[in-house]
Structure 1
C-alpha cells in the first residue's frame, strides 16, 4: 500500500538478493521440466454441441476408438447456458482435460436460439494444458461460426499425439521426480511440479485473504475439499490447483504413506460414485446439490466461506496467532516483491513466491518433527512447536491431526500441550 512506510532500498535489495536466488532455483527447475518434458500424451480432441432438446452430445473426436462416455458432461459445466464463455479443467478416468466453452445466439429454432459448444483436449498430465488455451478458444469460436470445420483440430492432434498408456494404468505426469531434485518431493502430488497459469495464485491470495491459512492446514491434512461456485468455473479450477500447491513438501520420504492429494477439478453428479472411494481430493462444482452430500467431502467452500460438518475439524477453521503471523509475512513479502519489481530490482513472480512460501512452511514443520523424533527424548514441547512456526495453543489440534495423518506415532506430547 502507498500509505504505508516504504522499505529502504538497501533492505529490499538485501532481502531479494537472497530470496531471488531461491525463487530462481525454483523457476529453473520449472523451466528445465518444461524444456526436457514438453506436453506429451495429448491423446485426443473432442468437440461438443449442446442442444436444449437432447442435452449434451459428442459431435466429433480423435481418436475414434477412445471411450468418452460421460465426458460431454465434464467439458460443459452445469449452468453454462448462463455465460457466454468459460474454460473447464476436469478428469476423465486417468486423464486430465481442458475445454473451452462458448455460447452464441442463433436464429435456429432447432437450437432454441443458442448454439453452445465446448472444444477440448485430454492428456495424461494437466500441467501444460493451459498453453493451448488460446488455441482452444479460437477453435470453439470457429466451431460456432463454421460448424463441421475440423481440419485444424485434426492437424493439431496429429502434431501432438503420443502413445497412450494402457487403459487403467496410472497417470503419466511427463516429468520424472528426479528432474526437480529437491525442489518438490515426488511423494507429493506429481502433477504439481511443472508450472502454473500466470496470475492464478495472486488472484487466489486476494480472493481468500487470511482464509488461505485455513485451506493450507486442511490441504496438508489431506482432507476432501469441495469448492462450490456458479459458472463461470474456469477461475475456480485454478483455485483447485492452488489448493494442491499449498501441500508441497520437499523433504525426502515425507508423505509417502499418506493419501495422495488429488485434484479432480470440475465435477458433477456423474462423479458421485468416483468420489465415494476417494480418501483425499480437491475439486470444484457448479451444482449446489453437492452441499447436501456431506458424506462426500470434509470441507465445503462457498465463495470465501470455508465450512465443515466434521466436529473434529471445526476448530481448525479458526485462525491461530501463528496463522495470522504467517499471513502477515506472506503479505509483507508480496508487498516487497511488488515494490522491488517496480524499481527493477527483482524479476521473480508472485506465483514463485507463493509456491516457495508454503513449501518452506511445510518443510519447517516436518524438519522439526524429524529432529524431535530422532532425539533421545522424542517429546513435543511448546518450544519445539514454536520451532515449527505453529502456535502451541491455537494449533494444538492441527498438530495432533498432523501426527496421526503422517504416522508420527512414536512422538510423545508434553503435558503443557495436552492441557493448553
Structure 2
C-alpha cells in the first residue's frame, strides 16, 4: 500500500486507419508519451476482432510498469460520401472505429470511468465525429478526478459484471478446476472473441480464486524475495472486504503483440498470470507463453503433467453443488454480499489447505509464525509429532473439508509438489505413501 496519489496517469484516443492500422490519435498530458513508453495501447484498446462489434469495454495492463487501463471502443457506421473534405486520404470504409481510455495507478474508480466513457455527451461527440474539434471534455475530466487522490492498493471495486455468480453461469464445474489450477500458480490464458467486456471483468474474480492469508508465507518457501500476494482484509468500517488484485498475476486483456514480444518477461515460464486474449492463433503458435488455455467452458493444456489436473473430479462436482446451495441461500441478498459470500468460501478453503500443508511441512520449525498468530511453538511441536514429522493422511484432508477419495488426494499431491514441501501423503491404515517429495 502506498501513499495517496493522482489516479489517472494518461487519457488517450486511438483509432483504426484502414491503410496504417491502429494509431494513437491523441493523448494527455504531454509529459506521458505513450509512444516513448512503448505501451501499445493502440493494440490493446482496439483488440483483434473489434470490427465485428458495435461497442466494447476493455481492461488491460500497461505491462512495462505497474499500471492499469480501461478503454471503451465504438464502431460507428459511416455513410459513403458523408465526409466533406475529399482531399484527404480515405481512412474509413463504411465504419469509424475509435477507442478512448485511461491509464491509471489503480482499478479503484474504474466504474466511474466506465460510466463516463459510455454515457457522457461530450465523449459521444468524439466517437461520432471523424475530426474531433476538441478533447477538452477529457482533459477536464482528468483534472477533476485527479483532484481527489486515491490510495494505490490495487483495490477491486465490486460491480455486478465481475461477481462470482457470473463465473458459475459461464464455467460451471470448470470453475472448480480453475480454482485448483490457480493454487498451482500457472499461466492461465482465456480466449474470447469480442466483445471482451465480460471476460475482462471476470478476470477480477478469477484472480481472487487462490486468495489466502498464507500466500506470502507459502511463496517465501519458494522465493524469499517474493513480496506480492492477493490480500483479503476485513474493513473495520464495513462487513464487506477490501479486495486486492495481485499486481503481478492479473494481466487482463493481452494482445498478440504483448505475448509475441513477451513484454516485461511476464509470459515466461514460471511467471504465473491470469489473462485473456482475442487472438486464437496464440493457442497453437505460442505454447511456450501459457500453461493452460481456456476457451469458453473448455480447458486445454499442452503440458502432459497437467492433463489429469484439468479434468473435473467428483470433488469438484461436490463443491459446485455447495456453491449453488450458497447462491440459493443468498438469492435475496444484494449482489455485493453474494459476491463476498463466494469469495469467503474460497478464501476459507484455501486457508485450511495451506495451513495444514505448512503445518505438516518438515521445515516448518525454521519458519516464522503464521500470519494469524494462532500457531505457537508448543503447538507446532505437537502437530508435527501427531503427523509423524511430515505425514499427511486422508483423514486429515477430510477434516478440512476435502474429499480424498473423490480426487482431492491427487490435487494435494500436485500442490505439495508445486510448493516444494517435505510432506508425505499416506493412505489411512497403510504403510505406503501415496506421494512423497
Which TM-score band (shorter chain)? 0.7 to 0.9
| DSSP 3-state at the match of 1:246 | coil
Q: Which residue of 1 aligns with 2:137?
A: 152
The aligned runs of 1:144-223 (5 Å cut-off) are: 144-146=127-129, 147-161=132-146, 174-175=152-153, 191=154, 193-201=155-163, 202-223=165-186
Mapped to 1, the partners of 2:335 and 2:21 lie a distance apart of 48
| DSSP 3-state at the match of 1:141 | helix
Q: Which residue of 2 aligns with 1:19?
A: none
The aligned runs of 1:16-415 (5 Å cut-off) are: 40-68=6-34, 69=38, 70-92=40-62, 93-94=64-65, 95-107=67-79, 108=83, 109-138=90-119, 140-146=123-129, 147-161=132-146, 174-175=152-153, 191=154, 193-201=155-163, 202-251=165-214, 253-257=216-220, 262-272=249-259, 273-274=262-263, 275-277=266-268, 279-292=271-284, 293-338=286-331, 340-341=332-333, 349-373=337-361, 374=380, 375-376=384-385, 377=388, 378-393=390-405, 394-409=407-422, 411-414=423-426
| DSSP 3-state at the match of 1:46 | strand
Shift of residue 320 of structure 1? 2.4
Q: How many residues align?
A: 357
Mapped to 2, the partners of 1:312 and 1:163 lie a distance apart of 49
Mapped to 1, the partners of 2:33 and 2:275 lie a distance apart of 23
Mapped to 2, the partners of 1:388 and 1:196 lie a distance apart of 29
**Contact 1:39–1:128 (Cα < 8 Å) also in 2:** no
Structure 1 stretches of 5 or more lacking a match? 1-32, 165-171, 176-190
Larger Rg: 2
**Contact 2:218–2:358 (Cα < 8 Å) also in 1:** no
**Contact 1:90–1:98 (Cα < 8 Å) also in 2:** yes
Q: Compared with structure 1, are the counterparts of its residues 309 and 120 closer, same or farther at alpha carbon in structure 2 (3 Å cutoff)?
A: same
Q: Deviations over 1:154-194 (max 9, x none)?
A: 11122233899xxxxxxx9713xxxxxxxxxxxxxxx3x54
Q: Compared with structure 1, are the counterparts of its residues 85 and 245 closer, same or farther at alpha carbon in structure 2 (3 Å cutoff)?
A: same
Higher percent of residues as helix: 1
Shift of residue 40 of structure 1? 4.3
Shift of residue 234 of structure 1? 1.1
**Contact 2:9–2:32 (Cα < 8 Å) also in 1:** no
Mapped to 1, the partners of 2:272 and 2:147 lie a distance apart of 30
Q: Compared with structure 1, are the counterparts of its residues 347 and 396 closer, same or farther at alpha carbon in structure 2 (3 Å cutoff)?
A: closer
Mapped to 1, the partners of 2:161 and 2:281 lie a distance apart of 31
Q: Deviations over 1:301-359 (max 9, x none)?
A: 01110111111111112222322222111110110111x44xxxx78622111211111
Mapped to 2, the partners of 1:307 and 1:143 lie a distance apart of 41
Q: Compared with structure 1, are the counterparts of its residues 41 and 230 closer, same or farther at alpha carbon in structure 2 (3 Å cutoff)?
A: same
Q: Deviations over 1:123-165 (max 9, x none)?
A: 122243233101012355221224232111111122233899x
Shift of residue 397 of structure 1? 3.0
Shift of residue 287 of structure 1? 0.6
| DSSP 3-state at the match of 1:143 | helix
Q: Deviations over 1:199-256 (max 9, x none)?
A: 4222111111111100001111111000011111111112222210101112474343
**Contact 1:103–1:114 (Cα < 8 Å) also in 2:** yes
Question: How does the TM-score come out when normalised to structure 1?
Answer: 0.78
Mapped to 2, the partners of 1:65 and 1:347 lie a distance apart of 41
| DSSP 3-state at the match of 2:276 | strand
